[in-house]
Structure 1
Amino acid sequence: MTDIGDMMQSLGRAAKAAAAELAFATSAQKEQALLTAAEAVWAKRDEIIAANAKDMEFATEKGLSAAMLDRLMLDEARIGSIVAGLKAVAGQADPVGEVLEEWDRPTGLHIRRVRTPLGVVGVIYESRPNVTADAGALCLKSGNAVILRGGSEGFHSSTALHACLVEGLRAAGLPEASIQLVPTRDRAAVSEMLTMIDYVDVIVPRGGKGLVGLVQREARVPVFAHLEGIVHIYVDAEADPVKALNVILNAKTRRTGICGAAECLLIHKDVMGTIGQGIVKALLQAGVEVRGDAAVAEIDGVVPASATDWGCEYLDMIIAAKVVDDIDAAIAHIRRYGSNHTDCILTEDDAAAARFFERLDSAILMRNASTQFADGGEFGMGAEIGIATGKMHARGPVGAAQLTSFKYLVEGDGTVRS
């Protein structure tokens, strides 16, 4: 076995041992660990920003796009958000041991279904160092040990944040191996983690199509897939023009590099000449490159779309735009080109919104709201480990509760089966 293999096996053994203790760690211990970690992150913010500067230099030399550099960058405000996320998770109710259902049987048995940790979670992610804190916090809150493998471009930032999490664990008397960071940029570590069935209970990939595809192809461990965010917004015939304009500009331009950013605009033919034109022109004025079908491309400044623009995650100041005959045509387009992540309808028509919600199966469906809200923190989860687009028990933002399974506790009184 290679040195990388030995190292990953060692991390796995330590994580499994830590998970056994975390399963019965008290709520107070977990809260103390996270609050101490939050204090450490804020106290060491200058060190973290200095570490991030090294990563930004490395990433710039690698030729990362402006949107990817934005995902990587940490400043005092973003560190403040990380601290707020750690405190929010700390303050949430502990999901472990929560009674989901409880009933009695005629045989005299009393049965409870209660939340229980998954065990060891492996998180593989790119670019965004805040995932180090978010994933570490959520796994700890849900009683899971976690092995974090961040992207090579965020190596120094993640290392600095991880040290703060370990400081919290130590203060709370919890195993330091509860939150481990793979200490190498070597990609062989990813391949090793994907096959560690003796130690890892679930893998969460968080990144681009290439990373998620690799994980889904090679993993022997179950996967919570965080697939690319090919996010559609449909402007219905009954859309409010002011709401539509504000929502679309925010959904596309607030932060282009996040998975909730809008990537495709679908416009009902009846409002293309009014609301649609205004929206497209506003996007162009905001510096967005609009790649439109024949109808949209009649607007000066629009680039004609190619076949590859449908179903594309740009993560940049680019959006595809198309005119559709009706809501069913919009639904058909999203079914064909979407990624089951987040899709939105802009309408004042309740029946149209109900049809959109019923006939699409994206993890998150929205009405008259920016898709940039597709985020666990915005959902009240404190933070998220990713947006699960698969059909396992965790869908949409994966918070602490979604990182649990359940077990049945059955009690009798000398009860025997006849």
Structure 2
Amino acid sequence: MMAIGGVVGGGLFLGSGEVIHSAGPGAIFSYALVGLFMVFIMRMLGEMATVHPSSGSFSTYSHHEIGPWAGYTIGWLYLFYWIVTVTIESMMAAIIIHVWIPSLSIGIISFLCIALLTLTNIFSAKLFGEFEYWFSIIKVVAIVSFLIIGTTMIFGLFPHLESPGVSNLLDRGGLLPNGPNSLLLAISVVIFAYPGIEIPTIAAGESPNPQKAVMGAINSVIWRVLVFYIGSITILVTLLPWNSSSALESPFVTVLDMLNIPAASLIMNILILVAVLSCLNTGIYTTSRMLYSLAEKGDAPKIFLRVTKKGSPIWAVLGCTVFSFITLFSSTISPDKLYLLLINASACIALLVYLFVAVSHVRMRKRLEIEDPKALIVKMWLFPYLSYFVIAAMISLIVAMAFMETTRVQLLATLATTLIVLVSYSFTKFKKKESNQTEVEDGRRKTI
């Protein structure tokens, strides 16, 4: 269920309006291109995960295939990314709940949301999975219902509504009314609207049958992208004029309002709340497993390796929760400086993660084809050409973001954060070397 709907966050419902307003009907192409890109990334991850299932997933693969510095860097960057995401999702949930319970402040509600879902992660992975299962079920049913309703509206099956046909697609400046450059700008936004598509490969490490779990996740990615993302966006741009204010603010609510559905806004807010709580729940799980994996490799304190009788890494969960609370506190004391800096610094980390995934995959595949070809249960298509194409595409997007005013600050902040992590790696490596030398000298003294 994590693979099917567990990582559909509030971004699909809240961020789609911005993409549609920017690219017009071309938003369909943006979601389709990025979706195809994500399918390739998932295929690469699936190939590696079926060979070496691990809770550290791509961090572990980068450690072995590129070098310890790569595993350390990508692990801590990904951890930082999800800690900020957990905070953002908790605040999105708090804003919705605050409308219903105005007596509670947004900060307190955010704190309670994180604390509540931390408890589900502490007790056991099974309890986390139970929560995520039902969150996913609600989202899947809601999105499929929306697709059915939207399709019937397009074909004019509602007597009181006139079908727009293709007028909103072609008669308002064409498929790309703002020019080809708008497609690139939309892609730079959409690539961060597929949150955590890689998470099932992290969870596979705790599955009774990792290879089967990974295969199921890979197979679901293609139709999940087609149905949930591309299907939803296609219906939205067909039913709504891309340049209308309603398309920018809340396109899903606007479509429901067209049918005069009572309490359309309330229904949508409940769905968005479920989506963000699901993403929050998944984020706590993901950060704790990544911190546990870093501790396994000696890149984080060993205390984070301690687990409960039910297998939950309790100190890793609590550690990540504390970091999330600190980030949440920054949004209160310095929302326009420190908190904004943290958001910008984490904005492009997902893109760096996918780049490391692709490079690790190429190196592992070449090595295994020589050492153990039978270990390759899942294989990336058209290797190595398609893998190199994905790497080139990601590098091109990073370069393009440096020249776009709307993304330049985020890219520079992320690169600065990456540099800080690399410096910290050099420091920890020096401390480890110094500690090892001390242990050797102590051993010699005892021998004498």
TM-score range (shorter-chain normalised) is under 0.3
Q: Greater relative contact order: 1 or 2 (C-alpha under 8 angstroms, separation 6 or more)? A: 2
Using the size of structure 1 for normalisation, the TM-score is 0.27
More helix by share: 2
More strand by share: 1
